Structure 1
Amino acid sequence: MTGPRSLLILSLSPLRSDPRVLKQITLFRDKYQLFTCGFGPAPDGVAGHFELDIALASWPRDPQRLALRRYVDVYWNIAAVAQARKLLRGQRFDAVLANDTNTVPLALSLEPKHGVHADLHEFAPKEHFNKPAWRALVAPYVRWLCRTYLPAARSVTTVAEGIAEQYTKDFGVAASVVTNAAPYADKQPRPTGEKIRMIYSSAGQRYRKIEDIMEAMRGAPEQLELDLIVMPNEPAYVAELKALGEELPRVRFREPVPYDQLVDTVAEYDVAISIIPPTNFNLAHALPNKFFEAVQARTGLIIGPSPAMETLLRRHGLGAVTADFTPAALVEVLKTLTPQLVDEWKANAHAAARELSSEHQIKGWEHAVDGLFARQEA
């Protein structure tokens, strides 16, 4: 071999703001000749980038072909896939890291010498299962996509144990787990004052029921304050939340911050709330970025009874679990908060920060991608 081996990281997402993909880029850019393909400008430190128009759809908008189950045509006519295919035509890579099921057929079509590793950020067949039209038209297509292409990937990772088990059960692929852990932050816990400051950050999507978090503040003790950082995914919904916030004097909204500033922002607070109602399969198995960001920020955590989060929280003593996902259950936990209890949670987060950091977790990707080359060279 005359030069470094080439690796393409492929994702139909804005690469410079996708936390999971950015971790992959940071991990591999000094190890391989790294190329990227995704929405928006090139990430830092890559050898080359194939930029996709961020206005292009990354999922099918073709109800007629979906209804007729002309799934091959459906896939290759997705606007972002079609542009990526055109940009990548004639390119040769030693290996491809394909993010999410919607890039796996494209990655395989490039015929990389050492194969494809698929990193699946959700359980794709049930991603929007709460929407009847998606369930009727798109879900059968996604199941076909998984059934047809995932077995051809040489290795697979996903974000949580329950999702990995479902991929194995439904499609026979062995998936290992790489969580959405945040990079290790060299911080010390900040002592909790008499005022206990809480933070909730989330995408602004109605199915997350953010209003329930806010409503709990009506019954919360006077020494508690809540700030929210809500992305404007659904502007009308976010406007409703802000109108509700006008009725709640101890609730404030903050502007979203870049990903690389999020841990520092969370570290200004004493407790992070990570309650995610199980309104679909993926949310029921959620182990989200914000859980790990709170650990690196050395804040306590309050979560709902989501199995993946609850396992880690109880193992490390990171915070409290509500009895269910209702505002009343959150109020009951909020009534137990004292500076002393929160300081215990912060100390436990500090003790667990290295183990729960991305530096520990991303070894799963390193093992998988290195394994592509090792298998071919053996």
Structure 2
Amino acid sequence: MVAGTGSPPQTARLQSGRRALSVCIVAYKDLTSNTRVARQAHALAARGHAVTVVSFAPPDPRLVGDRADFAATGVPKVGAALAVAVALAGSILGQAAGGPVRLAAALGGRFGQLRCQQFGLQAAKLCRGRRFDVVQAHFDKALIAAAAIREQCGGRLVFDAVELPFDRDSLPAPADQRALRLAEIAREQEIARTADQWLTVGGTLAAEITRRFRIAAPLVVRNCRQPHLAPDARIRRDLGLDGAAQLVLALNSVRAGEGVEVIVEALRHLPAHVHLAILGQGTDGAGGERLRSIAAAAGAGGRLHLPPLQPASEVIGYASGADMGIIPRQPVTDNLSLSLPNRFFEMVAAGLPLAVSRVGEIAALVDHHGIGVVFDENNPRAAAAAIAEVLDLLRQGDLKARVLAAAHQLSWDREQIAYVELIESLGQQENRRG
């Protein structure tokens, strides 16, 4: 366990006179670039609560400060022996891993596919001897670990469904791995039904979760960020752009459904002084080379830029040096259709007006706040027209003022209030029960 140097003491008391809580947030992932867990942990710790984060690797300390404790498991590794795999599948998945699924799980274990279960064992071991008032699972693959910690350490269970959970669109292709993931999903769904509260990231996703799983509406805690309203020249300097160049920024991974090919092709229809930067995962390999080829074929090879990734704590400041942002996401899966991604809030916090695709809540927020233009995400000409319109509106002055107003309205300082109140309410209920 790696402890923060200034973690709030267990005996700290809130101004209200109530006892400070002990909260565990469990995430089946490397949190180095994750900002949601970091913001939640910081918000709770700032209220005097003791917070423990269990994950593969901890969040960027610049986002959390020294107020939380971190238990880092590393990426779970599972032995190849069939006996170990069967034991893990049986003991962790329980009834969900009977018969043929248990055998499939054992076979999957030979290829390291039992990491969710192994993570659960490691997480519970790291938390042994502690007492928690609330245990929060960061998405579905953390539920098995969260349940193990709750059984051992107590606490109310919160499930943070940051996407549509238990997604069968992304099941692995091999039969044994597919069977194992289905067994995991069955167990995760059992655990989720026992949760005291669900959270999620947007209203559209909350409505679909309510409909699909027949539960009370989750509490919506959006991925709002704190405004960074002093433009930072680093990105322009890194890209070698002069004052005449106008820079459009996409905070995008290069993967299916993100629409980056459309906006690269859109450069063909834009003036030579308009440049595009794509900052995200996958731009430094084959995906980046493919985008460069598209730009070259469009006669815009010198106007596409793929800057290096930035630390999570630096993204908003770095982005603020662009003229505008663009989100070309395509609704090719349920999760993409229902999404309200981090990048929307990051670019608003950076003070950037936006051109966005027609994907549900993103487009609705842009229209509501009057901070940009919505375009057909499948049409490069439409993307180019939207970029040109936003840049033209910027010259008129009112658009920037609306973005700055939206940045304050959509700040994490405002958004965290309901989240903290929920955790405190559940924790006090647990105290009374205990």
Structure 1 length as normaliser, TM-score?
A: 0.86
How many residues are paired up?
Answer: 372
Q: Is the 8 A contact 1:189 1:350 kept in 2?
A: no
Deviation of residue 376 (structure 1)?
3.6
- Residue number in structure 1 paired with 2:81: none
Distance 1:102 1:77, change over 3 A: closer
Deviation of residue 18 (structure 1)?
0.8
Choose the corresponding residue for 1:276, options 320, 324, 329: 329
- Residue number in structure 2 paired with 1:6: 22
Does 2:239 match 1:239? Answer: no
Choose the corresponding residue for 1:159, options 195, 201, 204: 201
Q: Is the 8 A contact 2:355 2:390 kept in 1?
A: no
Q: Is the 8 A contact 2:45 2:51 kept in 1?
A: yes
CA distance, structure 1, for counterparts of residue 409 and residue 337 of structure 2: 24
Does 2:385 match 1:368? Answer: no
**1:173-229 Cα deviation digits (max 9, x unpaired):** 321111111123354799xx7643211121232442422211111112333211121
Choose the corresponding residue for 1:185, options 219, 223, 228: 228
CA distance, structure 1, for counterparts of residue 116 and residue 369 of structure 2: 47
- Residue number in structure 2 paired with 1:21: 37
For 1:37, give the aligned amino acid: V
- Residue number in structure 1 paired with 2:145: 106
CA distance, structure 1, for counterparts of residue 274 and residue 325 of structure 2: 12
- Residue number in structure 2 paired with 1:347: 401
Distance 1:195 1:130, change over 3 A: farther
CA distance, structure 1, for counterparts of residue 98 and residue 247 of structure 2: 48
- Residue number in structure 2 paired with 1:54: 75
Deviation of residue 77 (structure 1)?
5.9
Aligned-pair Cα RMSD in Å = 3.4
Distance 1:21 1:148, change over 3 A: same
More divergent stretch after superposition (335-344 vs 120-129): 335-344
Where 1:208 maps in the other structure, the secondary structure is coil
Deviation of residue 244 (structure 1)?
3.5
For 1:262, give the aligned amino acid: V
- Residue number in structure 1 paired with 2:374: 321
Distance 1:228 1:39, change over 3 A: same
Where 2:331 maps in the other structure, the secondary structure is coil
Q: How does 1:1-378 map to 2 (within 5 A)?
A: 4-30=20-46, 31-41=48-58, 43=61, 44-46=65-67, 48-54=69-75, 56=77, 68-70=100-102, 78-111=117-150, 112-126=153-167, 128-129=169-170, 137=179, 140-141=182-183, 144-174=186-216, 175-187=218-230, 195-232=245-282, 235-247=285-297, 248-341=301-394, 343-377=397-431
Name whichever structure is richer in strand by fraction. 1
Q: Is the 8 A contact 1:273 1:303 kept in 2?
A: yes
For 2:226, give the aligned amino acid: P
Deviation of residue 131 (structure 1)?
7.2
Deviation of residue 234 (structure 1)?
8.7
Gaps of 5+ in 2: 1-9, 13-19, 79-84, 90-96, 107-112, 234-242
More divergent stretch after superposition (30-39 vs 141-150): 141-150
More divergent stretch after superposition (327-336 vs 271-280): 327-336
**1:81-118 Cα deviation digits (max 9, x unpaired):** 33323333443322212211122232223235441111
Deviation of residue 268 (structure 1)?
0.6
For 1:52, give the aligned amino acid: T
Using CA pairs under 8 Å that are at least 6 residues apart, name the structure with larger relative contact order, 1 or 2.
Answer: 1
More divergent stretch after superposition (154-163 vs 339-348): 339-348
Structure 2 length as normaliser, TM-score?
A: 0.75
More divergent stretch after superposition (39-48 vs 14-23): 39-48
Deviation of residue 323 (structure 1)?
3.0
Distance 1:48 1:249, change over 3 A: closer
CA distance, structure 2, for counterparts of residue 207 and residue 130 of structure 1: 17
For 1:311, give the aligned amino acid: A
CA distance, structure 1, for counterparts of residue 30 and residue 192 of structure 2: 23
Q: Is the 8 A contact 2:27 2:138 kept in 1?
A: yes
For 1:119, give the aligned amino acid: D
Distance 1:359 1:337, change over 3 A: closer
CA distance, structure 2, for counterparts of residue 353 and residue 155 of structure 1: 28
Q: Is the 8 A contact 2:372 2:390 kept in 1?
A: no
